[in-house]
Amino acid sequence: MAEIPEHLLRRSAEAKAKTLGVPVEQIMAELGGESVPAAAPAAAAAAPTAPAAAPPPATPTIPEGVRTQRMLTVVKAKAIQGAKRKPTDKVNVWPHLLAIEFVALLVVMGLLIVFSVYQDAPLLELANPNEQPNPSKAPWYFLGLQELLSYFDPQVAGVLIPGLGLAGLALIPYVDRTRSIRPTDRKFAIMMFTFFVVASAILTIIGSFYRGPGFNFTFPWRDGIFFDL
Amino acid sequence: MADGNDSGNGRTTLGERLSGVGERIRASEAWESIFRPGSPFRKGYSDSPRNRSYVVMNNVLYHLHPVKVKRHGVRLSYTLCLGGLSFFLFILLTITGIFLMFYYRPAAPEAYIDIAALSTDVAFGQLVRNLHRWGAHLMVITVFLHMTRVFYHGAYKPPREFNWVVGVVLLFLTLLLSFTGYLLPWDQLALWAVTVGTNMGGYTPVFGDQVSFVLLGGIQVGGPTLLRFYVLHVLALPFIIVIFMAVHFWRVRKDGGISGPL
């Protein structure tokens, strides 16, 4: 039978003695008696003086069917192997994602080239500061704001609304504190965002196609389109 | 060395010589210093999990991605590739923009003359200008749609709040880039669109006149405005947007990759 190292026996006995409130020697004797019946007195006696006094034989003979392990301590499963992250279903970026991205890139590139071959970018006559075309329109992404200018004071429509809009957009994650990403839990946030997106889209479309000379209302099918990209 | 791989009759064919050259180039220290261990350019590509990882790890551009992503993230219907396409359009606009810079002078009448000459005197000049203009409009659209996609997936929620803010800055910079570029052809459309746009800046309370003056380099859109918008368009704003894009992409990875699934 394999010898249990002296210091481990001693530590185990001290711990046991502390919980039971009995002297260490008594426990040591019991422990020794349990594990190594033959060498019990010798081990208990030699404990404080010479741990290596009796070296075990080079190849101890273990009888068949004798268990040589001994439980020293119990470690709860979560203490060392508790996984913090749930394993997720993942795929390799190559080829799965890169192939899709490459096709998407080719499709957009192809559409853009075809469109560019058939549709030239506009180039009107040379800029002339003395001759303002009627109507004068901002680039299309500002036409929603230009549309607002005809309803509100310039300071409100030109500065306040875009400034607050941009700041509000940036602050969304700090205002919307719902942690869930399920659409059913976010009805209010989705409703508000959709409202502003649709409103700005409608304003942009009105400003682009339904405003003619003098930025007055027109119908594109009646008076033509006053819109350049 | 050339006679190392003799064929049966003791003479080397041209094909053997050429393939020998290829092998020696691939075995050379110079080649191996360029392509990192495991690169398909060293030993060729065979499909294995290890090589699939190496493809991503050994390419500086693919390295924007992790080796693996969540399965729902590669579905086309989840992202519609909008963020990636915005980045692709930015690269396309950079390349076509550099081409256009070779033929463009940012001065009051010359700019218009150069753009007009581009469509007749320069090979592919009109096509490249068209690509640049339509690509720019498309980029505004893809960036905006990317933002709405991210909102509807709730992908701005912790830990991704700050990356949403960076994204809003990127949207704003994209609009500024498009707007500064709008003036550069120096035709009636450019002049008056920018005049209408910059008039709004003049309505800024208290120091509106100063904002307008700094923006235009004068009291109305003119030669100084053209130079100012040109420098902003080709140098200052791209410089800033690249920094924000680097932070944006880096944070996507650091915040745990793609959000979801819903």
Q: Is the pLDDT of residue A40 over 50?
A: no
Bridge partners of B187, per DSSP, are: A126
Using the structure block, give the residue that is written with the tokens 């009107």: A124
Yes or no: domain A133-229 corresponds to CATH 3.40.50 = no
As a whole number of angstroms, the distance between CA A176 and CA B165 comes to 14
Q: Which amino acid is at B195?
A: T
3-state DSSP of A88-146? CCEEEHHHHHHHHHHHHHHHHHHHHHHHHHHCCCCCCCECCCCCCCCCCCCCHHHHHHH
Decide if B192 and A178 are in contact by the 8 Å CB cutoff: no
Q: What is the pLDDT of chain A when averaged over all its residues?
A: 83
**ipTM score of the complex?**
0.87
Give the residue ranges of DSSP H helices in chain B: 14-27, 29-34, 40-43, 49-57, 76-79, 82-101, 108-121, 125-152, 161-183, 188-201, 208-216, 223-231, 237-254
Residues of chain A contacting B52 with CB distance shorter than 8 Å: 92, 94-95
Decide if A101 and B84 are in contact by the 8 Å CB cutoff: yes
* Distance between B208 CA and the closest CA of chain A, angstroms: 10
Q: Is the pLDDT of residue A46 over 60?
A: no
Q: Between B237-254 and B161-183, two packed helices, what is the crossing angle to 10 degrees?
A: 160
Q: Is the pLDDT of residue A1 over 80?
A: no
* Distance between B262 CA and the closest CA of chain A, angstroms: 6
Residues of chain B contacting A90 with CB distance shorter than 8 Å: 68-71
Domains, in order of start, for chain B = 17-64 (no CATH), 80-254 (1.20.810.10)
Q: Which is more confidently placed, B89 or A31?
A: B89
Question: Which of A86, A88, A92, A187 is best to mutate for the B interface (most B CBs within 10 A)?
Answer: A92
| pLDDT tens digits along A52-63 | 555 555 666 777
Question: Which of A96, A114, A126, A178 is best to mutate for the B interface (most B CBs within 10 A)?
Answer: A126
For residue A190, what is the nearest residue in chain B, using CA coordinates?
B152
Question: Which of A86, A90, A195 is best to mutate for the B interface (most B CBs within 10 A)?
Answer: A90
Phi-psi bin for B124: left (phi > 0), alpha (psi -120 to 50), beta?
Answer: left
CB neighbours of residue A50 within 10 Å: 9
Decide if A112 and B92 are in contact by the 8 Å CB cutoff: yes
Q: What is the mean pLDDT of residues A44-72?
A: 61
Q: Between A98-118 and B125-152, two packed helices, what is the crossing angle to 10 degrees?
A: 130
| pLDDT tens digits along B2-47 | 444 444 567 778 888 888 888 888 888 998 888 887 777 887 788 8
